[in-house]
Amino acid sequence: MMKGVHFLAIVALLSLASSFVSAFDPSPLQDICVAIDDPKSAVFVNGKFCKDLKDTKADDFYFSGLQIPGNTDNRVGSNVTTVNVDQIPGLNTLGISLVRIDYAPYGQNPPHTHPRATEILVVVEGTLLVGFVTSNPENRLFTKVLKKGDVFVFPIGLIHFQFNAGKTNAVAFAGLSSQNAGVITIANAVFGSNLPINSDVLAKAFQLDKNIIKDLQKKF
């Protein structure tokens, strides 16, 4: 009898203790982090090293220039200005960052995903057709036309896009739930990878003629 009570007390204590420790690994804050034996040539500890508090200043939490439009004179007609831990070192470990996106008339931020962040976007100028697609097997499209002042959310990891459906420039700002959200632009990753993916693989995957694949690979 005593032994049973003792055992229950230990189980209760253990379950209490486990609520104070992390039950799984922290999410990675960069694409890859290969382990090495010699710490002298190490560059990351899942994020960045911390500056000594006595050397820390207000400028470590500051960025200036987000009033300046990005140049949209490129083949997709958009430009993303990123303000993440590389621009504001004080963002390290804080799980948040910001972008400004400019769109030429009929320009687009092409289908892409952020492997480490959910995004919340607000339109401050123009009209945007936006959407995201859920994972297999549903692949359901959630889409909306946004005007000035409208807000839309792109859940973490899902493929999404914005298209400027208007005749004027459009501007949006977005918050991302990572200091280093990462961007995988689908067309660039699939047709423009370095080294290129075997064109037979892509022909079958996209159910396209191999010459079309080769043409796409030249474009990206």
Q: Which residues bind ligand NAG (CB under 6 A)?
A: 70-71, 74, 79
Q: Using a CB cutoff of 8 Å and minimum separation of 24, what contacts does 87-93 make?
A: 87/63, 88/60, 88/61, 88/62, 88/63, 89/48, 89/51, 89/60, 90/56, 90/60, 90/61, 90/62, 91/179, 92/47, 92/48, 92/50, 92/179, 93/47, 93/50, 93/179
- In the bound state with ligand NAG, the residue whose beta carbon lies nearer, of 28 and 70, is 70
> Nearest approach, Cβ of 145 to ligand NAG (angstroms)?
25
> Nearest approach, Cβ of 70 to ligand NAG (angstroms)?
4
- In the bound state with ligand NAG, the residue whose beta carbon lies nearer, of 129 and 183, is 183
> Nearest approach, Cβ of 183 to ligand NAG (angstroms)?
12
> Nearest approach, Cβ of 136 to ligand NAG (angstroms)?
31
> Nearest approach, Cβ of 30 to ligand NAG (angstroms)?
22
- In the bound state with ligand NAG, the residue whose beta carbon lies nearer, of 74 and 211, is 74
- In the bound state with ligand NAG, the residue whose beta carbon lies nearer, of 47 and 77, is 77
- In the bound state with ligand NAG, the residue whose beta carbon lies nearer, of 74 and 143, is 74
Amino acid at position 27, single letter: S
